[in-house]
Amino acid sequence: MGTSNNSKGATTVVEHVTITAPKFNYAEFRLVGIAPYVQLRFSEKSINAMKEKMMLGSQAKKGKKREPRDFDEDYRQAFHVSTEGWHGIPAAAFRNAMISACRIVGFQMTKAKLAVFAEADGIDAIDGTPMVKIEGKPEKVEHYVRNATGVVDIRVRAMWRKWSCKVRIRFDADMFNLQDVSNLMARVGMQVGLGEGRPDGKQSAGMGWGMFSIEEKKHE
Compute the C-alpha angle 108/111/112, nearest 5°.
Answer: 85
For residue 185, the model assigns a pLDDT of 97
Confidence of residue 150 (pLDDT cuts 50, 70, 90): confident
Alpha helices in the chain, H assignment, sequence order? 44-56, 71-77, 91-105, 109-112, 178-187
Dihedral sign for Cα atoms in the order 48, 53, 55, 59: positive
**Quick check: 31 pLDDT over 90?**
yes
For residue 44, the model assigns a pLDDT of 47
**Quick check: 2 pLDDT over 80?**
no
- Do 182 and 31 meet the contact criterion of CB atoms below 8 Å apart? no
Task: State the number of CA atoms in the 13 A half-sphere of 207 facing the CB.
Answer: 14
For residue 9, the model assigns a pLDDT of 60
For residue 58, the model assigns a pLDDT of 59
pLDDT digits (tens, 9 = 90+) for 44-63: 455 545 555 555 565 556 55
**Domain ranges across the chain:** 23-53+68-219
Could you tell me which of 131, 178, 122, 134 has the C-alpha nearest to residue 33?
134
Confidence of residue 19 (pLDDT cuts 50, 70, 90): confident
Averaged pLDDT of the chain = 87
Q: For residues 33-46, give the mean pLDDT.
A: 81
Helices 178-187 and 91-105: angle between axes, nearest 10 degrees: 100
Percentage of the chain exceeding pLDDT 90: 65
Return the higher-pLDDT residue of 220 and 128. 128
Cα 166 from Cα 215, distance rounded (Å)? 10
Cα 90 from Cα 88, distance rounded (Å)? 6
pLDDT digits (tens, 9 = 90+) for 67-103: 778 889 999 999 999 999 999 999 999 999 999 999 9
- Do 92 and 123 meet the contact criterion of CB atoms below 8 Å apart? no
Distances from the Cα of 131 to the Cαs of 82, 86, 140, 154, in angstroms?
Answer: 8, 10, 21, 27
**Quick check: 127 pLDDT over 80?**
yes
Exposed/middle/buried for residue 43 (C-beta within 10 Å: 0-12, 13-18, 19+): middle
Return the higher-pLDDT residue of 54 and 40. 40
Q: Helix, strand or coil for residue 165?
A: strand
Cα 110 from Cα 94, distance rounded (Å)? 16
For residue 80, the model assigns a pLDDT of 95
Compute the C-alpha angle 150/154/155, nearest 5°.
Answer: 110
Amino acid identity, position 174: D
